[in-house]
Every structure is written in C-alpha cells, then in structure tokens.
Amino acid sequence: MKTDEAREGSIEAYGAFAIGGRLRRLSDRIDRDAKSIYEKIGVQFEQRWFPVFNCLRAGEALNVTEIADRLGLSHVSVSVIRKSLENAELVTSKVDENDGRRSVLTLTAKGKALSEELGPLFSALDLAAAELNKEAGNAITAIARLEKALDRRSISARTADFLEQNQTR
C-alpha cells in the first residue's frame, strides 16, 4: 500500500485528472471490505447488488427504469445487476401489467430470506459508513458537489474548452 504522502502527491504528480483513479480505488477498497464481511459470515452476496437489492427490500415491485431513477444509475447498469440477481435466484421479473414492454422486479423467497438475514449487517454497515463519512469531513457532500459540477459541465466539455483555448493562442 502506498504511503499517504504518495497518494496525496498523485494529484500533484498526475494532475487533478487523477481524481477518477482515486475514486475507483476508493470504491474498489470499500467493495473488497464489504466482500470480506459477507465471506466471513458465509453469505454469497456481491456488493454491486446492494443498491438494487436494497430498493426491493421493502417489498415494492419496481421496474428497471424506476430503480435506475431512484438510484441515479443508468438503465443498462441496473439491467446488468438485475440479471446477476436473477441468476443468483434472489430476484424475479415478470411483465408489467400496466406496460407490457417493461418487467417489474421483486425479491424471490430466497431474496426475502437473505434480506432478513442481512438486515442487521446492512444496519451495521450503514452506521459504519456514517461514522466514516463524519470522520472524513462529510465526503458524501463533497462527492455530491462533484456530481453536480459534472452535471453542469462534463469533464469532456471542460477539456475541449481548454484545448480550444490553447489552439487560439
């Protein structure tokens, strides 16, 4: 593992664009930690399933678009997770009675049982994440600000502007 100074220095060494790599490493680290927790308790559960699985835990039948909208994820991302959850027999889908072009998702009996089993763990993970967020000085708010800044203007648009400015000089 690199030292804190080396990690902090990556912004200076590689520029602010290193933020994408840092966020990926951070996400991977959190996912590895969660995976180890699931393994320790002997549960087959992938951290990437959590957002979709959690949406369905309340028992409401939702279609992929509704889940994607609630989570702020792409339709494709939710569809990939859905397929993986179906393969694990945790989620089932059926044609939406109101719109035959869509499928609604619900937890299977196995998914409901796993939800009950993992409920205390999910609560503990939530508390641990809240503590971590507080210790980090409200990283969630900083990430939300970053997302809003990207919504206002993408990195590609910003880069194109800088490239254009350099060509006109």
Residue range 24-51, pLDDT digits in tens: 999 999 999 999 999 999 999 999 999 9
Least confident of 2-16, 27-41, 79-93, 147-161: 2-16
Specify if 38 maps to a domain.
yes
Number of domain units in the chain: 1
Structural domain range at position 10 = 1-42
Asked whether residue 100 carries a pLDDT value surpassing 90, the answer given is no
Asked whether residue 169 carries a pLDDT value surpassing 80, the answer given is no
Specify if 141 maps to a domain.
no
Q: What is the pTM of this model?
A: 0.79
Segment 105-159, tens digit of pLDDT: 999 999 999 999 999 999 999 999 999 999 999 999 999 999 999 999 999 999 9
Type of residue at 84: S
Specify if 21 maps to a domain.
yes
Specify if 89 maps to a domain.
no
Residues 16-33: b if buried by 16+ CB within 10 A, e if exposed:
eeeeeeeeeeeeeeeeee
How long a stretch of residues is the chain?
A: 169
How large is the angle between the packed helices 75-87 and 64-71, nearest 10 degrees? 120
Burial of 138 (0-12, 13-18, 19+ CB in 10 A): exposed
Specify if 15 maps to a domain.
yes
Asked whether residue 16 carries a pLDDT value surpassing 90, the answer given is no
Specify if 97 maps to a domain.
no
Specify if 23 maps to a domain.
yes
Specify if 155 maps to a domain.
no
